[in-house]
Amino acid sequence: MPGKVHVTTTINGESVEFLCEPRQTILEVLRDQLDLTGTKEGCSNGNCGACSILVNGGVIDACLMMAVEAEGEELTTIEGVASAEGLHPLQQKFLEHAALQCGICTPGFIVAAKALLDNEPTPSEERIRLYLAGNLCRCTGYDKIVRAVQDAASAMAE
Amino acid sequence: MATKTEDYLGITDYKVIGTRPIRHDGVDKVVGRAKYGADIDMAGMLHGAVARSPHAHARIKSLDTRKAEALPGVKAVIAVADLPLQEDKIEELGEGAANLQHLRANVLADGKVLYHGHAIAAVAATDVHTAQEAVDLIEIEYEVLQPVLTVREAMQADAPLLLEDLTTQSLGEDSEKKSNVCTHFRHELGDIEKGFAEADLVIEREFFTATVHQGYIEPQNATALWGADGQITVWCSTQGAFDVRAQTAQILEVPVSQVKVVPMEIGGGFGGKIRIYLEPLAAILSKKTGRPVKMVMSRTEVLQATGPTAGSVIRCKMGVDKAGNLIAAQADMRYESGSFPGSWAAPGAMCIFAPYNIPHVLIDGYEVLVNKPWTMAYRAPGATNAAFASETLIDELCEQLGVDPLAFRLKNSAKEGTRRADGPVYPRIGHEQCVETARDSEHYATQFNGKNRGRGVASGFWFNVGLKSSAAASVNPDGTVSLVEGSTDIGGTRTSIAMQLAEVLGIGAEEVKPQVVDTDSVGETDVTGGSRTTFATGWAAYQCALDIKAQMIERAAKLWEIAVDDVVFEDGYFSSSDASKTISFKELAGRLDETGGPLMGRATVNPPGVGGAFAVMIADVEVDTDTGKVEILRVSMIQDAGKAIHPSYVEGQMQGGTAQGIGWALNEEYAYNADGLLTNASLLDYRMPTCLDLPMIETHIVEVPNPGHPYGVRGVGEVPIVPPVAAVANAIYDAIGVRLTILPMSPGEILKALWTKNGTT
C-alpha cells in the first residue's frame, strides 16, 4: 500500500487539510474522515446523484472524484448550503412543498438544484428536469421536487 | 378485513387533520444532518464485507479462509458454521412468514448457493478496502449446477431442484411431492364453468412480468456491537426495528431482550427493508472481535442479493354478458419466489379481481423457486403483476363491447357488501367514487388525439394491514407533547402520526415532538409496511391522546376541587359548569407539578378495522414507432385515502407509486444471462425513471371514510403502484393498436409487437 497523500482544499468556505490513500474517493473522505455525512452514497458509480457536491460551482458525483483531486479546489457540500441566517430558499421550498419523503436523495437534489439556480436563475420546467436527470429519487415521482425548485427560483428572484 | 365495528367518529371540522404542516424531521433532512444507517461512526469500529457467489446455482465443495485471515488488518472471518443451527419452523417476519432454516441459509449459504450474489462468508477488517481485499482472498470451490430461471422451467417435472427436501404445500396440505413449487392455493366463488357458459364474450391471455427491484436509493446497512455484557446493539436502516430484533435474535439464538435495535433514518424501503441480511453478520463479527462492526452493501450487492419482487406468469380469462356485466373471471397466477419459499402470489390473488363484483371466480396461485434472490415485498406486493393481467383484459372487453372503460368499471364496481373471491365481504369502500372522480376529471374530459398517441385507464386494489403499534407521550410544562413511537418514518409519518394526537388535544402539529425510538424505548410496533403506519400507529397516537386527555381532566378537577365528571375538554380548553373555571391545555400543562406531577399517556393497538384502498389511473402516452420508446405525456392518479391526514404526503405516496409503476411498465427488469448471472446490477442498467422521463403527476384524493378508524384513515402507501402498469399498457394499445403482454414494455418489445402486427421483421 503506497503512503498517504496530503491534500489541501476548501470545503464550504473553510480551508481543510487531510491525509488520504490514493484509492480513496472524495466521497469516502468527506463521509468517513471529515464527518460530512450529509453527502450520501447510493451507488458509488455515478448513476444516482445522491453524492452530488459542487466543485468550483459545478455539480459532480463525489463517488467519481478521487480525494487527491480535491487539492486546491473549492468544494461545497450540503452542509455548506444553509447559512447562519437560515435555510437556503431551496431548502425552505423543499420543506414547504413536501419535496422529500425518505430524504436520502434530498441533499444531492438540493446541491444540484443550487448549481442550476446559481447559473440560471429562471429555468423552465424542462430545463429543471434535464438538469436534475442525474439525480434519482425513488419516493416522490419528482413532481414536488420540480415544483420546489421552480418556487425557490421565484423566491430568489424577489 | 371486514369489520362490524364502526370506529369512525364522523368529525367534519378538523383543526389539524387535513392541514399541511412542515414535517418535524424536515430541517435535519434538507441540511444533511439526519443520520442514516451508513452515517454511523464509532470508536474502534471495524468494517465488514461479504463474499458472494459468482454462480446462480452451485454446491460449495470447499471454503478456505486462511489467506483472508492472514491479511494484515483482518480481524475476523465467518461462514455459515458460525451461525447457530435453526429449527425447521415458520415465523412471521413482518410482511410474510419464513422458515428459520431458510432465513439462516439466506444470511449465509449452507452447502449450496442458490443465486448470483448469495452470501457465503463475511470479513471484518480495520477499513473497508482491506475487508474487500480479504473477501477476494477467500477461496471457494464449487460444483456448478444448472440454474433454473423461469417459473416455466422450474415447474417442469425434470427441473433441477433448488431445495432438495422441499415438498409442495397444495391446497393446504403437504403433497409430499418434491418440487420447486412451494405452494399451490385456490380461491373459488360461484361456479366458474357455469359463469363462462353464461358469458357472451370471453377473452383469455397470458401475461409475463419481469423480476423488478424496489430500488430504494439507500443500500442496506447494519452496524452491530456485541458488548462484553452480552447485550447486542444493532443500528440499521429498516422498515421494522422490532422485526429486525426478532429475526436477529432468532438467527443468533439469543432472547429478544438481549438485542436492541436502533432504527436510523431510512433511505427508502418499499417492502425491501424488512428481512435481515447484514445484521447477524455484523453481530457475530463484533462478538469475535469485541469491536463494533459496520457493514454497508454496494449497489451491486443490493441488486444481486436483496429484494427483488416476484416476476410472474399469469394466465387470465374473463367473461361478460352482452349488457356488459362481468360474469366470470379466472386466473392462474405463477409467481417466482426466488431462492426460498415465501412469495407474493397470495396477496396478488387477493387483489386481482378485487375492484369488481363478479359472481363466478376461480383463482389458482403458485409460488415457485427459481435461482434468483429471495423475493421480498414491493409496494402492494403481487398486486401490480395481477392488475396488469386483469385490467388489460378489461380494457379489451370494453373495446370489444364498445363501452367506455370507466363506465364499465363503474357498472361492475365492487361496493359495500360485495364478497371478494378470497372471502372477505367489503365494508364501506371507495372504488366507485374513484372511478367517478376519474370520469369527471378535467383530464378525462380533455380529448387526447394524434398519431401514435393513446389514453389508457386502470383500477387497482390493495387490502392494507393493521398489526401492532405502540406510542407513549409526555406532557411538557410548556404545553407541548413529546411523542415516542416505533414506526420508522419513510415518508413523513412522524408528522401524520403526531397530527392525530394533536387533533385530540387541541394543540398544533408543531406542538407535538414526535420521535422514532429504539426497541427498548417503546412498545412493540410492526413494520412500516402494508400501508399501516398512519392508520395503526396514528391510531396508537390517537389513543395515547385520549389517555392524556382523561388524565388532564382529572388534573383540572383536582385544581378546581370539583368532580371529574364536571370537567369538559373542548377545542383545547378545560372548563366546568362554573363559567369562571376554564383553563387551556397549555396552562394546565404548566400546573402539573401542583396537581400530582408529570403526566404520560400510552397506548398499544392492533386495530382490526383495516380499510382497503382503491386507485384509478389515467395515462396519456405517445409511442415513437421508429424506436419503440414510450413517452408519458400526462398522468392522473385518483385514490381513496379514507381521510388524508397530511394531504401533501398522501399526494407524495400517490406520485411515488405512479412513478414506480411507470418504471415497472416501461424499463425495469432483472436481466439474467443463460448461466443465471445478473447482467444489469447497476443503476445505469437497471433503469429507474428519472425526472426527465416523467411529467407532473396529477393527483385526486378521494375521501370515503374507513369505518374502522376514528378519523376514517385508510392506508395510502401501496395502492398507487397497482394501476400504472395496466394503464400504460392500455394507453399503448390505444396509441398503436398492439396489446403488450410482457413487462417491461421496453422499446424492443414494442417494436417486436409492431413488426408482428405489420407482418414485418
Q: Nearest by CB to B694, from A50, A87, A141: name it.
A: A141
By Cβ distance, the residue of B30, B657, B659 closest to A100 is B30
Q: How many CB pairs under 8 A join A and B?
A: 186
Supply the CATH classification number for the domain A5-80. 3.10.20.30
Q: Higher pLDDT residue, B88 or A67?
A: A67
| Last residue within a domain, chosen from B573, B605, B637 | B605
| Cross-chain CB nearest to B38 (options A41, A91, A96) | A41
How far off is chain A from B171, nearest CA to CA, in Å? 38
Whole-number pLDDT of residue B320: 98
C-alpha to C-alpha distances, B386 to A117, B190, B616, nearest whole angstrom: 43, 21, 15
B107 lies in some domain: yes
In this structure, the answer to whether residues B317 and B436 fall within a common structural domain is yes
Shortest Cα distance, chain A CAs vs residue B700, angstroms: 14
Q: What's the CATH number where B542 sits?
A: 3.30.365.10
Q: What is the pLDDT of residues A3-33, one digit of tens each?
A: 899 999 999 999 999 999 999 999 999 999 9
Smallest CA–CA distance from B302 into chain A, residue: A43
Which residues in chain A have Cβ-Cβ distances shorter than 8 Å to B20?
A: 98
Nearest by CB: B655 against A37, A43, A143: A143
Distance from CA of A139 to the nearest CA of B (A): 5
Q: Which residue of A has its CA nearest to B32?
A: A38
Superfamily of domain A89-157: [2Fe-2S]-binding domain (1.10.150.120)
**Interchain pair B652, A140: CB under 8 A:** yes
Q: Which residue, B552, B577, B605, sits at the end of a domain? A: B605
Chain B positions in Cβ-Cβ contact with residue A137 (cut-off 8 Å): 217, 691
Q: Show the 3-state SS of B154-206.
A: HHCCCCCCCCCCCEEEECCEEEEEECCEEEEEEEEECCHHHHHHHCCEEEEEE
Q: Is residue B5 part of a domain?
A: no
CATH of the domain at B54: 3.90.1170.50
Q: In this structure, are B544 and B689 located in the same domain?
A: no
Q: Compare all CA atoms of chain A with the CA of B239 and give the residue at the minimum distance.
A: A102
User: Is there a domain that residue B20 lies in?
Assistant: no
Provide the number of structural domains found in chain B: 3
Q: Are B501 and B572 found together in one domain? A: yes
What residues of chain B lie within 8 A of the CB of A145, using their CB? 691
Q: Residues B580, B632: one domain?
A: no
For B717-744, the pLDDT digits (tens) are 999 999 999 999 999 999 999 999 999 9
Check A143 against B268: CB less than 8 A apart: no
Tell me the β-bridge partners of B333.
B314, B365
CB contact under 8 A, B29 and A105: no
Q: Are A34 and B42 in contact (CB under 8 A)?
A: no
So what's the pLDDT on residue B5?
A: 56
Nearest to A101 among B129, B492, B688 (CB): B492
Q: Are A87 and B27 within 8 A, CB to CB?
A: yes
Q: How many angstroms separate the CA atoms of B320 and B580, rounded?
A: 70
Range of the domain at B740: 312-336+347-369+379-464+610-758
Which of the listed residues B585, B605, B625 is the one where a domain comes to its end? B605
- The reply to whether B591 and B620 lie within a common domain is no
| CB-CB neighbors (< 8 A) of B298 in chain A | 44
Strand order in the sheet with A5-11: A14-20, A5-11, A74-76, A52-55, A58-61
Give the nearest chain A residue to B699 (CA atoms). Answer: A143
Is the domain of B440 the same as that of B493? no
pLDDT of residue B761: 62
- Rounded CA-CA distance B665/B746 in Å is 8
**What is the ipTM metric for this complex?**
0.98
Chain B residues inside the 8 Å CB shell of A44:
298-299
Q: Which of B490, B688, B696 sits opposite A101 (nearest CB)?
A: B490
Q: Dig out the grid coordinates for A89 from the structure.
A: 430558499
Rounded to a whole number of angstroms, the distance from the CA of B651 to the nearest CA of chain A is: 9
- Are B64 and B138 a contacting pair, CB within 8 Å? yes
> Quick check: A144 and B652 CB within 8 A?
yes
Q: What is the mean pLDDT of each run of 10 residues along chain B (761 residues)?
A: 69 96 98 98 97 98 98 98 92 75 97 98 98 98 98 97 96 95 97 98 98 98 98 98 96 97 98 97 98 98 97 98 98 98 95 98 98 97 98 98 98 98 97 98 97 98 97 98 98 98 98 98 96 98 98 98 97 94 97 97 96 97 98 98 98 98 98 98 98 98 97 97 98 98 98 93 62
| Residues of chain B with C-beta less than 8 angstroms from the C-beta of A41 | 38, 219, 296
Show me where the domains of chain A are located. Answer: 5-80, 89-157
Side chain identity at B448, as an amino acid letter?
A: F
- Which residues in chain A are closer than 8 Å to B41, comparing Cβ atoms? 32, 35
The pLDDT value given to residue A24 = 97
How far is the C-alpha of B226 from the C-alpha of B74, rounded, in Å? 18
What is the chain B residue with the closest CA to A131? B692
Are the beta carbons of B32 and A38 separated by less than 8 Å?
A: yes
Residue B18 in domain:
no
Tell me whether residue B167 is in a domain.
Answer: no
Percent of chain A with pLDDT over 70: 99
Asked whether this chain's domains A5-80 and A89-157 adopt the same fold, the reply is no
Chain-chain contact of A45 with B682 (C-beta, under 8 angstroms): yes
**Record: contact A42-B656, CB cut-off 8 A:** no
Task: Please check whether residue B252 is in contact with residue B283, taking contact to mean a CB–CB distance below 8 angstroms.
Answer: yes
Give the list of residues 6+ apart from residue B722 with CB closer than 8 angstroms, or none: B351, B380, B383, B384, B387, B460, B461, B462, B615, B657, B661
- Residue A99: closest C-alpha in chain B: B652
Say if B33 falls within a structural domain. Answer: no
Listed as own residue / partner, the contacts of B743-746 with beta carbons closer than 8 Å and 24 or more positions apart are B743/B207, B743/B208, B743/B209, B743/B210, B743/B388, B743/B664, B743/B665, B743/B669, B744/B210, B744/B664, B744/B665, B744/B666, B744/B667, B744/B668, B744/B669, B745/B630, B745/B665, B745/B666, B746/B628, B746/B666, B746/B667, B746/B669
Contacts of A110 in chain B (CB under 8 A): 30
Comparing alpha-carbon positions, the chain A residue that sits nearest to B34 is: A38
Closest CA to B189 of B312, B317, B327: B327
Task: Please check whether residues B236 and B108 belong to one and the same domain.
Answer: yes
